[in-house]
Amino acid sequence: MQALMQDWSLTLDKIFDHAARWHGDREVVTRSVEGPIVRATYAGLHRRAKQVSDGLKEMGIRPGDRVATMGWNSDRHLEVWYGTVGIGAVLHTLNPRLFPEQIVYIANHAEDTVLFADPACAPLLAEILPQCPTIKRVIFLDAEYEAWLEGRPADAAWGGFEESTAAGLCYTSGTTGNPKGVLYGHRSNYLHAMMTLQPDALNLSARDTVLLIVPMYHANAWGVMYSAPMVGAKLVLPGQKLDGASLHELMETEGVTYSAGVPTIWQMLLAHLKETGGKLTSLQRVTVGGAACPESIIRTLRDDYGVDVIQGWGMTETSPLATVSTPSPKVAALPFEQQLPYKLKQGRLICNLDLKLVDDAGNRLPHDGKTFGRLMIKGPTIASGYYGSEHNSAVDDEGFFDTGDVSTLDADGYMQITDRAKDVIKSGGEWISSIDVENIAVGHPKAALCAVLGVVHPKWDERPILLVQLEPGQTAGKQEFLDFLDGKIARWWMPDDVLFVDEIPLGPTGKIDKKLLRTRLTGYELPFDPGLKR
CATH number for the domain including 468? Answer: 3.30.300.30
Is 513 within the bounds of a domain?
yes
Given the residues 241, 426, 459, 515, select the one marked as catalytic.
426
Assess if residue 301 is contained within a domain: no
Give the whole-angstrom CA distance, residue 257 versus residue 263: 18
Per DSSP, the three-state class of 509 is coil
Strand partners, 364: 358
SS3 at position 533:
coil
pLDDT the model gives residue 457:
85
Q: Is position 411 within any domain?
A: no
Annotated catalytic residue, options 249, 431, 478, 511: 431
Please state, in angstroms and as integers, the Cα–Cα distance from residue 467 to each residue in 13, 60, 83, 450, following that order: 47, 52, 46, 6
Q: Is residue 290 in some structural domain?
A: no
Q: What is the extent of the structural domain holding 463?
A: 423-520
Estimate the share of the chain in helix, then strand, then coil, as percent rounded to the nearest 5: 30, 25, 45
CA distance 116 to 512: 29
pLDDT of residue 311: 95
All residue ranges of the chain with pLDDT < 50 are 530-534
Is residue 446 part of the annotated active site? The answer reads no
Q: What's the pLDDT at 529?
A: 55
Pairing of the two strands 66-70 and 166-171: unpaired
Question: From the candidates 172, 209, 408, 418, which is the catalytic residue?
Answer: 172
For residue 362, is it left (φ>0), alpha (ψ between -120 and 50) or beta? left
Look at residue 292 in the predicted model and tell me its pLDDT.
78
The yes-or-no answer on residue 222 being catalytic is no
> Which residue among 317, 318, 493, 509 is the active-site one?
317
Looking at the whole model, is its pTM more than 0.95? Answer: no
Q: Residue 233 and residue 500: Cα distance in Å, rounded?
A: 44
- What residues are paired with 402 via a beta bridge? 376
Backbone angles phi, psi at 349, to 5 degrees: -65, 140
Instruction: Judge whether 16 lies within some domain.
Output: no
Q: Is residue 502 part of a domain?
A: yes
Residue type for 298, please? I
Describe the crossing of helices 75-85 and 13-22 by its angle, rounded to 10 degrees. Answer: 130
Helix (H, G, I), strand (E, B) or coil at 333: coil
Number of domains, the chain = 1
431 is catalytic: yes
Q: Which helix (H) or strand (E) holds 195?
A: helix 186-196
Known catalytic residue: 300? no
pLDDT for position 533 = 44
Under 8 Å CB-to-CB from 104, ≥6 apart: which residues? Answer: 128, 131, 132
196 in a domain, yes or no? no
Is residue 488 one of the residues assigned to a domain?
yes
Please tell me the predicted confidence (pLDDT) of residue 176. 53
Task: Give the three-state DSSP class for 332.
Answer: helix
